[in-house]
Structure 1
C-alpha cells in the first residue's frame, strides 16, 4: 500500500480517488473547490489538503485529473504546486487529457527535481471511473511506470505503457479520433433507421453483435433515440480534446479531414446550447 495524493475531484477523479482509498492506500485529496474535497473525505475517509503542495508532501505517488494544459501547469508548478511538495523519488501520474507538449514540458521539470512523471490519460467515461474499469494509456520512463502501475490498477481494467513521455497522450488522441467518427456514424445510422420507419432499438439489437457493433452503439443508442443527453462526457471537453488532436496532426503531418469536420459538428451542438451534453448528442444536428 502507498501514500497517495489525488489532485482534482471532478466526475472522473472523485471515484478514482475513492477506489484508491478502498484498496487500502493512504489517500490525501485536494480540489480547487475545497467543499468537494471535504465531501470526499466524509464519504471515503482519508484527508483533505489546502493546496496541491500540501497534498503532495510525503506522498509516494501524486495523481492528477484536472481540466486542461493550464490547469495541469497550475497544480504542478509554483510555490503552491505539487512539485514543490514532492520528495525526490516520488512519481507524478497525470490522468488529465492534455497536449503531449505540456506533458513533455512537465516531465522535464519533474526529472530536474528528481521526480518521476507518467502521463496516463484514461478512457471509459464516468461509468468506467465509478466501476474501476478504465483503460489507461501511459507514457514515461519504464521504471516510473513499473512503480505506478500497481497503484493505477485500483481503477483500471487495462493499463499499458506505450512509449516515452507523451506516448500516453498521443494514444488518447487516437482514442478520441476514433470515438468522434464512431459517434457521427452511429448518429447517422439511427437517424436513417428512424426516417425509414424502423424500430431503432430492435435494429441495434440485431447489428450490435456484428461488425458494426461498438461500445458507443451498445451504451448510447437508447438515450440517443430517447433524445436524452444530460450526462456523460461533455461536448465542451470533446472539443478541447479534438482541438489537441488537430493541432498535433498539423505538427506531425497527419491528415484528419473527418475529425476536423466532426469537430465543427460539435461546434454546432455547442451553439444549440449543448456544451454540457454528452458527446452522443451529435444526433441532435440531424432533422427529426
Structure 2
C-alpha cells in the first residue's frame, strides 16, 4: 500500500502538470506508459485521472485504512515514511469529503484542485 500511495500520487502530479501546461496529455500518457516511468497504475488508472472520473477498483477508504496500518508499523520500527504520510493526509481529506468509495486513484482529485483545475 505504501508503494501504491507513492505511485498514484506521482502519476497524479505528472498528469496534472501536463494538463496545466496544455499538452496533449493522452498522447503523453501513452508515450510515458511505454517508457521507464510506466507502471500498472499509470496504464490502468492514469486514464481515470485524465477524465477526473474514478470508477471503483479499490476503495480509497480501504487504502487509507491499510496505509494507516503500514504507517503505524513503520513508526513502531522507527522507519520514516514521509511520502506515505503525506498521501495519507490527502486521502483522509478525501474520505472526510465523501469520496471514500471512489477508486484509490481519486488522489488525483486533490492534486487537480491544488493546481486550480477542479472541474
| Structure-1-length-normalised TM-score | 0.38
Greater RCO between the two (CA within 8 Å, min separation 6)? 2
> Does residue 1:262 correspond to 2:87, yes or no?
yes
Q: What are the within-5 Å matches in structure 2 for residues 1-288 of structure 1?
A: 176-285=1-110, 286-287=112-113, 288=117
Larger fraction in helix: 2
Larger fraction in strand: 1
Separation in structure 1 between the aligned mates of residue 27 and residue 6 of structure 2, nearest angstrom: 23
| Two-structure CA RMSD over aligned residues (Å) | 1.0
- Structure 2 unpaired stretches of 5+: none
Separation in structure 1 between the aligned mates of residue 101 and residue 55 of structure 2, nearest angstrom: 7
The structural deviation recorded for 1:234 is: 0.6
- Are the aligned partners of 1:230 and 1:278 in contact in 2 as well (CA < 8 Å)? yes
Separation in structure 1 between the aligned mates of residue 52 and residue 75 of structure 2, nearest angstrom: 35
Separation in structure 1 between the aligned mates of residue 36 and residue 8 of structure 2, nearest angstrom: 15
Which runs of at least 4 in structure 1 moved beyond 4 Å after TM superposition?
A: none
The structural deviation recorded for 1:225 is: 1.1
The structural deviation recorded for 1:187 is: 0.5
In structure 1, the residue corresponding to 2:23 is in which secondary structure? coil
The structural deviation recorded for 1:246 is: 0.7
Separation in structure 1 between the aligned mates of residue 88 and residue 49 of structure 2, nearest angstrom: 19
